[in-house]
Amino acid sequence: MFRAILYSQWKWSRLIVVLGTIAGFALPIVSVQGAARGDRSPLDAEQLLRAVQGWGTLYPVLAAALGLLVAVASWAPDHRGRHVHALTLPLPRWQYVLLRFAAGTAMLTAPIVGVCAGALLATAAATLPPGLQGYPFALALRFALAVLVAYALFF
Protein backbone atom coordinates (compact mmCIF):
# COMPACT_ATOMS: atom_id res chain seq x y z
CA MET A 1 0.00 0.00 0.00
CA PHE A 2 2.83 2.38 0.84
CA ARG A 3 4.46 1.80 -2.56
CA ALA A 4 1.24 2.74 -4.35
CA ILE A 5 0.85 5.93 -2.32
CA LEU A 6 4.53 6.76 -2.79
CA TYR A 7 4.21 6.28 -6.55
CA SER A 8 1.14 8.47 -6.76
CA GLN A 9 2.82 11.09 -4.58
CA TRP A 10 5.85 11.02 -6.88
CA LYS A 11 3.59 11.51 -9.87
CA TRP A 12 1.98 14.60 -8.33
CA SER A 13 5.05 16.25 -6.84
CA ARG A 14 7.97 15.17 -9.02
CA LEU A 15 8.47 18.61 -10.59
CA ILE A 16 8.56 20.27 -7.16
CA VAL A 17 11.02 17.69 -5.83
CA VAL A 18 13.34 17.85 -8.85
CA LEU A 19 13.44 21.66 -8.88
CA GLY A 20 13.92 21.74 -5.10
CA THR A 21 16.78 19.25 -5.35
CA ILE A 22 18.49 21.30 -8.06
CA ALA A 23 18.03 24.50 -6.07
CA GLY A 24 19.23 22.82 -2.88
CA PHE A 25 22.32 21.50 -4.65
CA ALA A 26 23.15 24.84 -6.25
CA LEU A 27 22.58 27.07 -3.22
CA PRO A 28 25.71 26.09 -1.21
CA ILE A 29 27.87 26.17 -4.33
CA VAL A 30 26.67 29.63 -5.33
CA SER A 31 27.07 30.96 -1.81
CA VAL A 32 30.82 30.27 -1.73
CA GLN A 33 31.55 31.17 -5.34
CA GLY A 34 33.92 33.97 -4.32
CA ALA A 35 36.03 31.60 -2.26
CA ALA A 36 36.54 29.09 -5.07
CA ARG A 37 38.30 31.37 -7.56
CA GLY A 38 41.55 29.93 -8.82
CA ASP A 39 42.79 33.01 -10.65
CA ARG A 40 42.47 35.48 -7.79
CA SER A 41 43.42 35.43 -4.15
CA PRO A 42 40.80 33.93 -1.87
CA LEU A 43 38.41 36.20 -0.02
CA ASP A 44 39.31 37.22 3.48
CA ALA A 45 37.21 35.90 6.33
CA GLU A 46 34.98 38.97 6.65
CA GLN A 47 34.12 39.12 2.95
CA LEU A 48 33.46 35.38 2.79
CA LEU A 49 31.17 35.44 5.81
CA ARG A 50 29.27 38.41 4.38
CA ALA A 51 28.78 36.63 1.05
CA VAL A 52 27.65 33.38 2.68
CA GLN A 53 25.35 35.27 5.05
CA GLY A 54 23.69 37.02 2.11
CA TRP A 55 22.86 33.70 0.48
CA GLY A 56 22.01 32.07 3.82
CA THR A 57 18.56 33.64 3.98
CA LEU A 58 17.48 31.49 1.03
CA TYR A 59 17.80 28.21 2.96
CA PRO A 60 14.72 28.80 5.17
CA VAL A 61 12.83 30.20 2.18
CA LEU A 62 13.60 27.07 0.16
CA ALA A 63 12.72 24.83 3.10
CA ALA A 64 9.38 26.55 3.68
CA ALA A 65 8.53 26.53 -0.02
CA LEU A 66 9.34 22.84 -0.37
CA GLY A 67 7.38 21.94 2.76
CA LEU A 68 4.36 23.93 1.61
CA LEU A 69 4.35 22.74 -1.99
CA VAL A 70 4.85 19.06 -1.17
CA ALA A 71 2.15 19.23 1.51
CA VAL A 72 -0.29 20.86 -0.89
CA ALA A 73 0.61 18.36 -3.61
CA SER A 74 -0.09 15.53 -1.16
CA TRP A 75 -3.74 16.39 -0.80
CA ALA A 76 -4.56 18.15 -4.09
CA PRO A 77 -5.87 15.04 -5.91
CA ASP A 78 -7.95 14.04 -2.90
CA HIS A 79 -9.52 17.50 -2.75
CA ARG A 80 -10.28 17.41 -6.47
CA GLY A 81 -11.93 14.01 -6.10
CA ARG A 82 -13.74 15.07 -2.92
CA HIS A 83 -11.91 12.34 -0.92
CA VAL A 84 -13.90 9.54 -2.56
CA HIS A 85 -10.77 7.51 -3.28
CA ALA A 86 -9.55 7.79 0.32
CA LEU A 87 -12.92 6.74 1.69
CA THR A 88 -13.11 3.63 -0.52
CA LEU A 89 -9.76 2.23 0.62
CA PRO A 90 -9.84 -0.81 2.94
CA LEU A 91 -7.88 0.87 5.72
CA PRO A 92 -8.71 3.34 8.46
CA ARG A 93 -8.45 7.03 7.71
CA TRP A 94 -5.68 7.60 10.27
CA GLN A 95 -3.54 4.95 8.59
CA TYR A 96 -4.14 6.53 5.17
CA VAL A 97 -3.07 9.92 6.53
CA LEU A 98 0.02 8.39 8.11
CA LEU A 99 0.97 6.68 4.83
CA ARG A 100 0.42 9.92 2.93
CA PHE A 101 2.59 11.81 5.44
CA ALA A 102 5.37 9.20 5.22
CA ALA A 103 5.29 9.33 1.41
CA GLY A 104 5.69 13.11 1.49
CA THR A 105 8.56 12.78 3.93
CA ALA A 106 10.20 10.28 1.60
CA MET A 107 9.79 12.74 -1.28
CA LEU A 108 11.63 15.40 0.73
CA THR A 109 14.74 13.27 1.18
CA ALA A 110 15.92 14.12 -2.34
CA PRO A 111 16.23 17.90 -1.69
CA ILE A 112 17.91 17.18 1.65
CA VAL A 113 20.47 14.93 -0.05
CA GLY A 114 20.89 17.63 -2.71
CA VAL A 115 21.75 20.24 -0.08
CA CYS A 116 24.17 17.82 1.59
CA ALA A 117 25.90 17.00 -1.70
CA GLY A 118 26.09 20.66 -2.69
CA ALA A 119 27.48 21.62 0.71
CA LEU A 120 30.11 18.88 0.53
CA LEU A 121 31.14 19.98 -2.95
CA ALA A 122 31.18 23.66 -1.98
CA THR A 123 33.28 22.97 1.10
CA ALA A 124 35.75 20.92 -0.92
CA ALA A 125 36.01 23.52 -3.71
CA ALA A 126 36.27 26.63 -1.54
CA THR A 127 39.55 27.99 -0.32
CA LEU A 128 38.70 28.95 3.24
CA PRO A 129 40.78 31.54 5.06
CA PRO A 130 42.71 30.43 8.13
CA GLY A 131 40.46 30.12 11.15
CA LEU A 132 37.29 29.21 9.23
CA GLN A 133 35.89 25.72 8.82
CA GLY A 134 33.02 24.37 6.78
CA TYR A 135 30.30 22.23 8.33
CA PRO A 136 28.35 20.69 5.44
CA PHE A 137 26.59 18.01 7.50
CA ALA A 138 25.41 20.53 10.08
CA LEU A 139 23.98 22.66 7.27
CA ALA A 140 22.23 19.65 5.74
CA LEU A 141 20.85 18.59 9.13
CA ARG A 142 19.46 22.06 9.84
CA PHE A 143 17.95 22.22 6.36
CA ALA A 144 16.39 18.78 6.90
CA LEU A 145 14.83 19.88 10.18
CA ALA A 146 13.50 23.08 8.60
CA VAL A 147 11.99 21.20 5.64
CA LEU A 148 10.38 18.54 7.82
CA VAL A 149 8.96 21.08 10.28
CA ALA A 150 7.53 23.14 7.43
CA TYR A 151 6.07 20.01 5.83
CA ALA A 152 4.53 18.88 9.12
CA LEU A 153 3.00 22.32 9.74
CA PHE A 154 1.51 22.64 6.27
CA PHE A 155 0.42 19.01 6.03
What is the model's pLDDT at position 131? 77
pTM: 0.84
DSSP sequence for the chain? -HHHHHHHHHHHHHHHHHHHHHHHHHHHHHHTGGGG-SSSPPPPHHHHHHHHHHHHTHHHHHHHHHHHHHHHHHHHHHHHTTTHHHHHSSS-HHHHHHHHHHHHHHHTHHHHHHHHHHHHHHHHH--PPTT----HHHHHHHHHHHHHHHHHHH-
Contact 55, 126 (CB under 8 A): no
What is the model's pLDDT at position 50? 79
Angle at 19 between CA 49 and CA 125, to 5 degrees: 35
Show pLDDT as tens, one digit a residue, over the chain (155 residues): 889 888 888 888 999 999 999 999 999 999 887 665 555 455 567 777 777 788 889 999 999 999 999 999 988 777 566 656 655 667 888 898 899 999 999 999 999 999 999 999 988 887 777 777 888 999 999 999 999 999 999 98
